[in-house]
Amino acid sequence: MTARKHVEHCMGTVFSFDLREPYPEDGALEEAVHRLHRVDATFSTYRPDSDISRLARGEVTVGDCAPEVGEILALCERLTEETGGCFSAYPGGTLDPSGAVKGWAIERADGILRAAGSLNHHINGGGDIRLAGGPEPGRPWRVGIADPLRPGAVATVIAGRDMAVATSGTAERGAHILDPRTGRPAAGGLASVTVVGPSLTLADAYATAAFVMGEAAHDWIEGLPGYEAYAIGLDGRTWTTPGLRADDPARPSTGSARPARSSAASGGSSRSSAGARGPSRSSAGSGGPAQPSARSGRSTMSTSSAMDSATRWGRNG
């Protein structure tokens, strides 16, 4: 299937669109890009005239802002409660809901393309990814997750259809994620966390919260219906939740046993049923993705070779 691609600079990062047949109606891609810029103008903490900046300074009320501001702030309140304070619209003590905005904006762009007839597309915004269909009949999208401990290398490849993939970590911007409970950089012992599930809005926020939680995130994410995770510790050790099996990425599959944490040197992951599941949590969105699969272990693929075999995104949240 012939690909139509577009790259757009927005929100201080790069958004990449990869559209496959059937393509959306004329003008849909332009509308999706325009929506991203409108979200940036509303929520950017770097623009003094944005609604969120004016709200933070107390110049306006939520009612004076675009309707989306109230929607995002309500979502952030819900996420703060759901994550035990590991996610917040005030991560450093001042209003900054950025952790929920990018994934939410990409889902709106995805909705515009789907409504215009697009069945197979890939949208990546700085490591937050929304997948629809596949790149060609019978083949899933393949997403390479960057290794935060080895620049230019790919840690694992996640394959699937109709799903969201979000990664939070240190690969691109260093220790930039704040723990809202302390107002200081998160010190949970993780280098990156990738969350896969049906909603990019939630996967993005869950990845940020999981990074703050550290090792405790494994059981927490395991209790989120429809969501799976892959994490890399600062010591190089990795873990996955049961539904993200270390298997051939071309064959989406699920696992029935919880994998034990594996070392980077082993290049694999043994499985163990030890450990209790975390408390069940509800999630927004209906349905779920085709069950994703991942090739676990730390790949030694170079950046260029990874681009040949997988779409090398999933860098940072």
Model confidence pLDDT, tens digit, residues 149-177: 998 899 999 999 999 999 998 766 656 79
Pairing of strands 13-20, 228-233: unpaired
Residue bearing tokens 């083949």: 139
pLDDT value of residue 176: 77
- What's the residue count for the chain? 317
Residue bearing tokens 């306006």: 60
Helix (H, G, I), strand (E, B) or coil at 39: helix
Whether pLDDT at 245 is above 90:
no
Least confident window among 3-17, 104-118, 190-204, 286-300: 286-300
pLDDT value of residue 46: 96
Asked whether 159 and 245 are in contact (CB, 8 A), the reply is no
Name the token pair of 119.
């069945």
Per-residue pLDDT band for 292 (boundaries 50, 70, 90) equals: low
pLDDT value of residue 173: 60
Average pLDDT over residues 232-257: 65
Spell out the residues 6+ positions from residue 37 whose beta carbon is closer than 8 angstroms to its own.
10
pLDDT value of residue 67: 97
**From CA 191, how far away is CA 181, in angstroms rounded?**
19
Dihedral sign of CA atoms 306, 200, 167, 30 in order: positive
pTM of this structure: 0.80
**From CA 316, how far away is CA 207, in angstroms rounded?**
10
Phi, psi (deg, nearest 5) at residue 271 = -115, 145
Q: How open is the CA angle 19-288-194, to the nearest 5 degrees?
A: 75
Asked whether 145 and 167 are in contact (CB, 8 A), the reply is yes
Name the token pair of 190.
């993780």
Whether pLDDT at 133 is above 60:
yes
pLDDT value of residue 120: 98
DSSP state of 260: P
Average pLDDT over residues 58-72: 98
